[in-house]
Amino acid sequence: MKAPKVMEHLKPAHIACEKSDIAPIVIMPGDPLRAKYIAEKYLTDYKLVSDARNMFAYTGMYHDKRITVMGSGMGMPSMSIYAFELFYFFGVERIIRIGTCGGLKEYLNVPDLILANSSYTEGNFAYSYNGDPTHVAYPSKKLNEVILEQAKAKGLTIHEGCVMCTEQFGFYSDNEHVLKRVPEDIDIIAEEMESFALFHIASSFDKEASVILTVVDSKFSDQFMSIKDREQSLDNMILLALESI
């Protein structure tokens, strides 16, 4: 599987900085304000390196590691733009998405952690991107193993499973008919909107990507994490990602 060809004269259209401003390792929340929160709370010697379209990217040090924290926006189209530019133009080697999701199993509660071991989509993202007809994409097995080891060391419970990458926000759509069409051999445990694009693009460049998610709502409960909490109270997930770099 190969990445699409890009015209040689093209420059990144959505990230406004020099190649050297971006670290080889990127922690990627969806919300750019969460990127700001992470930089201010956990990084040293950090600086804002890109703010085009208010999609903030900060590069600094986490202990002895130089990393970039950058928002991806919501949905596969937005994730695909930033993931592609980071891998293609900036030479990024590894992206860990830290995001939120809706739980689709009764055993999942707010704010449980999930590590995606695959991502399923009904859409045709892969075919549009590089002619691949697949509907399932996978993370870096090696990086996932590191994350699991770190979770164990921290005494954190983390659920592994396949997540469904949707093209609409679950609460604003009738997604039950979509779930009923999922192939019987695919066991979906949660839904979100970015993982498939990240995994597929990373694989096309032979790069590493993983997705850690926090359950913020569930189809089996009325509990719903607030906007403020989603922006600033996901520290277990954030620290797990930082320690896994």
Residue pLDDT, tens place only, 156-193? 999 999 999 998 877 677 777 788 888 999 999 999 99
Say how far apart CA 42 and CA 28 lie, in whole Å. Answer: 14
Is residue 217 part of the annotated active site? The answer reads yes
According to the model, what pLDDT value does residue 226 have?
72
Tell me the two tokens of residue 200. Answer: 């597929």
CA dist 190 to 69, 133, 137, 153, 243, Å?
24, 23, 15, 25, 24
* Residue among 174, 217, 222, 235 flagged as catalytic: 217
Reported as a single tens digit per residue, the pLDDT across 6-54 is: 777 888 999 999 999 999 999 999 999 999 999 999 999 999 999 999 9
Domains contained in the chain, CATH given: 19-243 (3.40.50.1580)
pTM of the predicted model as reported, rounded to 2 decimal places = 0.94
